[in-house]
Amino acid sequence: MFDRIGEFFTSFRNALSIPELRKRLIFTGLLLVVYRMGSHIPIPGINGDALSALVRQAGNGVFGLYDMFAGGNLSKATIFALGIMPYISASIILQLFGAVIPYFEKLQKEGEEGRKKITQYTRWGTVFLAAIEAAGASFFLQSSGFTGPDGQPIVTHAGPGFVMMTVITLTAGTMFVMWLGEQITERGIGNGISLIIFIGIVARYPLDIMNTLRSEAATGWNFLKFVKLGFILALMLAVIMATILITQGQRKIPVQYAKRMVGRKMYGGQNTHIPLRVNTAGVMPIIFAQALVSIPGTIASFFRTNEFAASIAQIFAPHHAVYLVLYSLAIIFFTYFYTAIVLNPVDLADNMRKHGGFVPGIRPGKKTAEYIDRILTRITVPGAIFLAFIAVLPDVLINLLRVPFYFGGTGLLIVVGVALDTLAQIESHMLMRHYDGFMKKGRLKARFGR
Between 106 and 54, residue with greater pLDDT: 106
Q: How confident is the model at residue 301 (pLDDT cuts 50, 70, 90)?
A: low
Tens digits of per-residue pLDDT, 307-354? 777 777 777 777 778 888 888 899 999 899 888 888 888 888 888 887
Q: What is the third-level CATH fold of 12-203? A: Preprotein translocase SecY subunit (1.10.3370)
Does residue 448 carry a pLDDT above 50?
A: no
Tens digits of per-residue pLDDT, 79-111? 888 888 888 888 888 887 877 888 888 887 777
Residue 230: which residues within 8 A CB-CB, separation 6 or more?
none
Does residue 213 carry a pLDDT above 50?
A: yes
pLDDT of residue 2: 47
Please state, for a pLDDT cut of 90, what percent of the chain lies above it. 7
Rounded CA gap, 32 and 147, in Å?
A: 33
pLDDT of residue 316: 77
The CATH number of domain 226-407 is 3.40.50.1860: no
Residue ranges per structural domain of the chain: 12-203, 226-407
φ, ψ (nearest 5 deg) of residue 188? -105, -145
Q: How confident is the model at residue 176 (pLDDT cuts 50, 70, 90)?
A: very high
Between 379 and 114, residue with greater pLDDT: 379
Task: Round the average pLDDT of the chain to a whole number and report it.
Answer: 79
pLDDT of residue 260: 64
Q: Global pTM?
A: 0.76
- Using only C-alpha atoms, the chain has a radius of gyration, in whole angstroms, of 24
